[in-house]
A and B are shown apart, each in its own frame.
Chain A
């Protein structure tokens, strides 16, 4: 892969730092009146999700990271790996527990999600922002209680537990925001 010099650093650029793929969040150019210029760079480690702040001399360079994001269809979980398929090529990829992380709670078979590939292997998986999932377990709904107010826990088909309004019943489909884990609305079956 190519190298990027500090003057090419901009937000979203993917580089390798300490062996890990990172995405540049911010690059600040700092130069004293006379003398060495620096780039203070905030970058997100795409493996750990942690944000690093590092300072480079102007003109230093980092290796480009072969990182891409692709829409893929989630196929199934074999107990150890989650399997995904590229819709155009039908090429399949398997992702381990570390790269799937909490996203596993929102993955429904056949759904499209976003898989981040690093050197061709899944690095991270993100579900669509909104997903529709079936309630598999919750206390019986209170008839007529459609007013605002109380919530109760409900287990969804993927295993996620969210808070839903009191009037909902098992078997109903709800729309959920996967970024916050919050109930959005009742969805059509």
Chain B
């Protein structure tokens, strides 16, 4: 803090340059989707239900209990089931406790869904969007499977390595005993601390995730006959930017994942989250086969302005 400045600063955390670039980026995104005839939808940020993902904590309100949405996903899936066609939302999302260089509890999320598409077509469109808004060269987009990047970086096959092997490497990275951790936790730790920083530059799509990291993606079988989750993550200059899925359609499977999430939440000492029955009813009625992706606008802006911390691109960061 510079001399003479009061400790309680009223000033914005973002630079004026970042605010100008943010306005331009939002306009470019809307132009991009308008040209492609994807409909912008304006959805509630306050909802009666929220995601059950054990690693996400929603911000909630008291009496009546409501949740600030951690993403517009469930509302968007209900629209898709109602026959909306291709849609996107560009809005605020909230995740309690996510605070750091690349995280702010309130942030701007771009999420879109393409009925009739799979994750491969959607990866192409994400690359197109990034090329058009982020001045990334046409050539600079590559795909790599989760297994190949693991093998190339840490010489372990993430699908076939034993939990013992994964936990040993995770313990080495964390400098703590991780031998009682789950396969998913070990994989997340290895990826976050060993692999992400060593990804190739430019736009990189990592796809075909291990089954235990499936979230709301459909399962498939890869060329080696291994069951994989049909989801992808997008990295721009080694920084995670977006998460995409060939979406789960089956209401029964969705219900099973809700209860598995709640089993984990209980074990973690977190409150259980009631299943979103309206989402399940929409899945019962029939969600069209679709691919969906959510992209962090603030992180993209960080890249555009060369910011070191997310607060530099948010007018008033937490």
Determine the chain B residues whose CB is within 8 A of the CB of A52 once the complex forms: 175
Number of A-B contacts (CB under 8 A): 70
- With contacts A30-B100, A34-B215, A35-B188 taken as known, whether A59 is within 8 angstroms of B176 at the C-beta atoms is no
- With contacts A29-B103, A32-B240, A54-B176 taken as known, whether A38 is within 8 angstroms of B189 at the C-beta atoms is yes
CB of B175 within 8 A of CB of A32, answer no
For A55, give its contact among B176, B213, B231, B233 (CB under 8 Å). B176
Determine the chain A residues whose CB is within 8 A of the CB of B66 once the complex forms: none
Name the residue on A nearest B214 (C-beta).
A34
- Is A36 in the interface zone, CB < 8 Å from B? yes
Determine the chain A residues whose CB is within 8 A of the CB of B37 once the complex forms: none
Minimum CB–CB distance for B244 against chain A, Å: 9
- Which chain A residues numbered 15 to 43 have a C-beta less than 8 Å away from chain B? 28-38, 40
CB of A33 within 8 A of CB of B242, answer yes
Number of B interface residues in the complex (CB < 8 A): 30
- Is A57 in the interface zone, CB < 8 Å from B? yes
- Is A118 in the interface zone, CB < 8 Å from B? no
For B100, give its contact among A28, A36, A54 (CB under 8 Å). A28
Determine the chain A residues whose CB is within 8 A of the CB of B242 once the complex forms: 33
- Is A167 in the interface zone, CB < 8 Å from B? no
Minimum CB–CB distance for B47 against chain A, Å: 20
- Is A53 in the interface zone, CB < 8 Å from B? yes
CB of A34 within 8 A of CB of B185, answer no
- With contacts A30-B192, A53-B175, A54-B176 taken as known, whether A36 is within 8 angstroms of B55 at the C-beta atoms is yes
Number of A interface residues in the complex (CB < 8 A): 21
Minimum CB–CB distance for B256 against chain A, Å: 18
CB of A29 within 8 A of CB of B215, answer no
| Overall SS of chain B's interface | mixed
CB of A29 within 8 A of CB of B175, answer no
A32 to B197, CA, bound (A): 12
- Which chain B residues numbered 67 to 113 have a C-beta less than 8 Å away from chain A? 97-101, 103
Return the CB mask of B255-266 against A: 1 if under 8 Å, else 0.
000000000000
A38 to B240, CA, bound (A): 15
CB of A33 within 8 A of CB of B99, answer no
Minimum CB–CB distance for A146 against chain B, Å: 37
A187 to B189, CA, bound (A): 57
- Is A7 in the interface zone, CB < 8 Å from B? yes
Determine the chain B residues whose CB is within 8 A of the CB of A40 once the complex forms: 193
- Is A4 in the interface zone, CB < 8 Å from B? no
- Which chain A residues numbered 63 to 86 have a C-beta less than 8 Å away from chain B? none
CB of A34 within 8 A of CB of B53, answer yes
Minimum CB–CB distance for B205 against chain A, Å: 12
- Is B254 in the interface zone, CB < 8 Å from A? no
Name the residue on B nearest A54 (C-beta).
B175
Determine the chain A residues whose CB is within 8 A of the CB of B226 once the complex forms: none
Minimum CB–CB distance for B50 against chain A, Å: 15
- Is B227 in the interface zone, CB < 8 Å from A? no
Determine the chain A residues whose CB is within 8 A of the CB of B185 once the complex forms: 35-36, 57
Determine the chain A residues whose CB is within 8 A of the CB of B48 once the complex forms: none
- Is A58 in the interface zone, CB < 8 Å from B? yes
Determine the chain A residues whose CB is within 8 A of the CB of B269 once the complex forms: 59
Determine the chain B residues whose CB is within 8 A of the CB of A31 once the complex forms: 55, 98, 100, 103, 192
- Is B191 in the interface zone, CB < 8 Å from A? yes
CB of B98 within 8 A of CB of A29, answer yes
Determine the chain A residues whose CB is within 8 A of the CB of B181 once the complex forms: 57
14 residue pairs from A and B, CB less than 8 Å apart: A7-B97, A30-B193, A31-B55, A31-B98, A31-B192, A32-B233, A33-B233, A33-B240, A33-B243, A35-B55, A36-B185, A38-B192, A55-B173, A58-B55
- The 6 tightest CB contacts between A and B, nearest first, are A29-B100, A55-B174, A33-B243, A35-B188, A36-B188, A33-B233
Taking beta carbons and an 8 Å cutoff, which residues of B are in contact with A? 53, 55, 97-101, 103, 173-176, 181, 184-185, 188-189, 191-193, 196, 213, 215, 231, 233, 240, 242-243, 268-269
9 additional contacts (CB under 8 A) given A29-B99, A56-B174: A29-B103, A32-B191, A33-B242, A35-B184, A35-B188, A53-B175, A54-B175, A55-B189, A55-B193
